[in-house]
Chains A and B, each alone.
Chain A
């Protein structure tokens, strides 16, 4: 077990007892953290492992949310309604990801980011225009339905199902990073020209990473629609796209646990500081400035860096070659 897996297992164990201590922490709040945590993991899969910055991730979260929500409203009572709506939501997000990624991947740097931004605004526009998305109202009163005979209307049941889905999503991202594909992805990020000269089409690996990232963002969006029973325009907005950048950078880009920590921090601040109203944005903004100025690796990134440095200091210096001593004849 790697240390990441150990820490994740500890977090899951802690999450298992949450419904028994509602006075300490709300299960609904933890579910929100899980949704945004997955969303940030998806974003990090792209930024952290390909170096591509996307401003389109809300489009994937929202698309899946709308599709899953709309299908649940119509077919939610069906015993297979939940898995079918979920799968359709994820597939829709992956498809939108393929379209946006396929167009944007031809450009680099800021141009890539701007193309994703422009295309995600089109998705936002469509969400306002379409009737099935509810336009300005969004989708409300989405039923949770049932899964394997369990009625998800109960918050406790929903909580454990959400926790299981969350674990599956996180482990999927971890697997992608530590797969033969992930290995080449790292090579492409490290030295694109060299990877190409070894026969790997860099663009194809980046596109597949983009689609996988979109699919996981969609997975988070589908879960969010199911848990909260509503999908709004905020879910496809630029604001959400930038929020996920913030979460990922705060937690530590390129680390597996960082996005979870970042999401917990941002969602936590929004929840517990809700009383101060719009000032929350200012507080989060200040934290962000401090983070990029002093902890550029993010919370988890700085921690890992500190631990590595300590391990290096503890290790004895490598043995030097023995000095050459002139032989006395």
Chain B
């Protein structure tokens, strides 16, 4: 087994003349919760998009469990077990909440190309879909259309859908963005619970979430790694303090 679940070596992405991500070497320990923070425009989302193949890297390599996955497609790395959540909620709006989860579970059946079979054959997944929904507190909304859910519940549904794939590596893109304080606490508890036996890499602006949850924090600035370490180490780092509000206190929410 490789020492790290996920590793990037010299990962670089340039858009024309602008380098959004420059020479990033990142190593995510297995079963850790690892946060990626940094001011707006630091390249966090671009970095995520490189990991999930939304963008092709200009240079560098991406290794998952020791295997080079730099050239693989988005769908292929999802099948390897790297599943991401999105910055804005990503559900299937015209499907019921239960069907949203079922779509993810369906991959395991391997029937996704069977156009001749009745969709009743998917009913075998209903129990598990309901269990996952109960797990995140959405069971009573199972029959509702995903489009009708509140923002916080859409994000919760997205996490339930992601968990349905039982992914060893979860990439969470701002899981608590735009949430009310109660929802933030609920998501925090949920993330801590699902981190059991999984590796999580997340982009997060809410420092209280980062401080409470994350083992390792990497600070990006202008596409480069500025500092890395535990919350205590990073928040003492003068360079990080300078980057955040010119030496201001590293805490609170940086939108």
Contact = CB atoms under 8 A, between A and B. Distances in A.
B216 interface: no
Nearest to A198: B104
Nearest to A178: B119
Contacts of B104: 198
A179 B91 contact: no
Interface stretch (B2-10, B24-32, B79-87): B79-87
Given A180-B112, A181-B112, A198-B107, A186 B117 contact: no
Interface string A185-222: 01100110111111111101100100010000000000
B69 to A, nearest CB: 14
A197 B77 CA distance: 8
Interface stretch (B36-44, B92-100, B227-235, B241-249): B92-100
Interface residues of A, number: 27
B221 interface: no
Q: Which of B86, B106, B112, B117 has the most chain A CB atoms closer than 10 A to its own CB?
A: B112
Contacts of B83: 197-199
Contact of A197 (B84, B109, B116, B117): B84
B91 A176 contact: no
Contacts of B86: 193-194, 197
A180 B95 contact: no
B161 interface: yes
B18 interface: no
B52 A175 contact: no
A128 to B, nearest CB: 34
A165 interface: no
Contact of A187 (B92, B117, B119): B92
B253 interface: no
A179 B116 contact: yes
Interface residues of B, number: 37
B115 interface: yes
B95 A187 contact: yes
B115 A181 contact: yes
Contacts of A204: 113
B103 interface: yes
Contact of B113 (A175, A181, A202): A181
B78 interface: yes
Interface in B112-128: 112-119, 121-122
A183 interface: yes
A182 interface: yes
B176 to A, nearest CB: 19
Contacts of A184: 103, 106, 112
A328 to B, nearest CB: 27
A190 B94 contact: yes
B52 A180 contact: no
Contacts of B75: 196, 199-202
Given A193-B86, A198-B83, A186 B92 contact: yes
28 contacts: A175-B116, A175-B118, A179-B115, A180-B111, A180-B117, A180-B122, A183-B99, A183-B103, A183-B119, A186-B92, A186-B95, A187-B92, A187-B95, A190-B95, A191-B91, A191-B93, A193-B90, A194-B91, A196-B75, A196-B78, A197-B84, A198-B78, A198-B103, A198-B107, A199-B78, A199-B79, A199-B107, A202-B75
Interface of A: 175-176, 178-184, 186-187, 190-191, 193-202, 204-205, 208, 212
Given A198-B165, A200-B75, 17 more contacts: A179-B116, A179-B119, A180-B106, A180-B111, A180-B121, A183-B119, A184-B103, A184-B106, A193-B86, A195-B92, A197-B74, A198-B78, A198-B83, A198-B103, A198-B107, A202-B75, A204-B113
